[in-house]
């Protein structure tokens, strides 16, 4: 049984190491052949290479010795480079906080939505102009403009 495990481990390590040393993979020329068939064909490959989208999930939990507090979030980040110096960015997040203080609240009242949209223009190498619209939720009794809890 142990010899079988060792042989499987050695084969697995050899395959992983062999895959690490592959320097170049053959390129797929199917899309280039399709785009060169007609002169009036619009090139869809270039705009797609300027589009970037990322998804993420995060969760954290803390305890004060008696109660557990947790927060979880799903994030979506996307960006599109219209020109080399003009970029559109957007973020959307859905968050839920669960704490003993909110156990009587329905689930929909515990959900928070955050969004962010921006246009970034870089006219020169060392200068950036950015226009941003942002909505970041905060807890019901906390205000970022007033340092104490709201009553």
Beta strands in 1-146 (DSSP E): 51-63, 68-83, 86-98, 111-124, 127-135
Helix, strand or coil for residue 146? Answer: strand
CA 113 distance to own-chain centroid: 15
pTM attached to this predicted model:
0.51
Which tokens is 37 given? 């068939």
- What pLDDT, on a 0 to 100 scale, did the predictor assign at position 63? 80
Domain boundaries, the chain: 49-151
- What pLDDT, on a 0 to 100 scale, did the predictor assign at position 90? 93
CA distance readout (Å), 94 to 61, 64, 78, 113: 17, 25, 15, 5
First-to-final CA distance of the chain:
67
Q: What is the pLDDT along the chain (151 residues), one digit of tens a residue?
A: 677 777 888 787 777 666 656 655 556 555 454 444 444 444 555 667 788 888 898 888 888 787 777 888 888 998 988 888 889 999 998 888 776 666 666 655 667 888 899 999 888 888 889 999 988 776 555 555 555 544 4
DSSP single-letter state for residue 100: G
CA distance readout (Å), 26 to 30, 36, 46, 142: 12, 20, 20, 56
- Cα–Cα distance between 105 and 56 in angstroms, integer? 26
- Cα–Cα distance between 68 and 95 in angstroms, integer? 17
Which tokens is 36 given? 């060169």
Asked if 93 and 115 touch (Cβ cutoff 8 Å), the reply is yes
């Amino acid at each position: 049984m142990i010899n079988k495990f060792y042989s499987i481990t050695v084969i697995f390590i050899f395959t992983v190491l062999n895959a690490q040393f592959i320097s170049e993979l053959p390129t797929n020329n199917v899309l280039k052949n399709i785009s060169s068939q007609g002169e009036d064909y619009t090139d869809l490959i270039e705009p797609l290479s300027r589009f970037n989208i990322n998804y993420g999930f995060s969760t954290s939990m803390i305890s004060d010795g008696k109660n557990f507090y947790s927060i979880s979030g799903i994030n979506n980040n996307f960006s599109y480079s219209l020109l080399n110096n003009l970029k559109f960015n957007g973020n959307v997040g859905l968050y839920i906080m669960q704490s003993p203080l909110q156990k009587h609240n329905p689930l929909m009242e515990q959900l928070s939505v955050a969004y962010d949209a921006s246009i970034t223009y870089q006219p020169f190498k060392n200068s950036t102009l950015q226009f941003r619209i942002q909505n970041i939720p905060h807890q019901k009794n906390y205000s970022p403009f007033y340092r104490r809890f709201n009553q």
